[in-house]
Amino acid sequence: AQSVTQLDSQVPVFEEAPVELRCNYSSSVSVYLFWYVQYPNQGLQLLLKYLSGSTLVKGINGFEAEFNKSQTSFHLRKPSVHISDTAEYFCAVSDQGTYKYIFGTGTRLKVLA
């Protein structure tokens, strides 16, 4: 079984500052890793995913994440945030066989002017 832990439920940050949203996972099998963003009253939008290969993954809207197998982490980063980045961010894992997603509890990023 897999699990995902997002340690921070809320992260306030000033506009143009860098941000890191933390995600740790546990799994006994190889997994795929994802970050999704959910804007208020909307569905999920894929930011980026790690399937294999390079551990540094670049996504949309200037976000990137680094897969660290030894630390079982997949932290999301952005060097300079905008007001429009205010949203809920979900980390998710999927084992490579079932395509079922296990989501973390989410981190609410609030960008302050």
Partner 1 sequence: GAVVSQHPSRVICKSGTSVKIECRSLDFQATTMFWYRQFPKQSLMLMATSNEGSKATYEQGVEKDKFLINHASLTLSTLTVTSAHPEDSSFYICSARGGAGNTIYFGEGSWLTVV
- Chain residues that interact with partner 1, rule: CB under 8 A: 36, 41-44, 46, 90, 94, 98-106
Helix (H) or strand (E) holding 41: none
Shortest distance in whole angstroms from residue 56 CB to partner 1: 20
- Residue 85 DSSP class: G
Least distance between partner 1 and beta carbon 49 (Å) = 9
Q: CB nearer to partner 1: give 22 or 103.
A: 103
Beta carbons of 41 and 87 less than 8 angstroms apart: no
Indicate the residue among 11 and 102 with the shorter CB distance to partner 1: 102
Strand-pair category, 73-78 with 19-21: antiparallel
Of the pair 64, 103, the CB lying nearest partner 1 is at 103
Which of 82, 88, 98 has its CA nearest to residue 21? Answer: 88
Least distance between partner 1 and beta carbon 68 (Å): 22
Under a CB-based contact definition with an 8 Å cutoff, are residues 28 and 86 in contact? no
Tell me the closest approach of the beta carbon of residue 16 to partner 1, in angstroms.
28
Tokens linked to 63: 């976000």
Pick between residue 15 and residue 27 the one whose CB is nearest to partner 1. Answer: 27
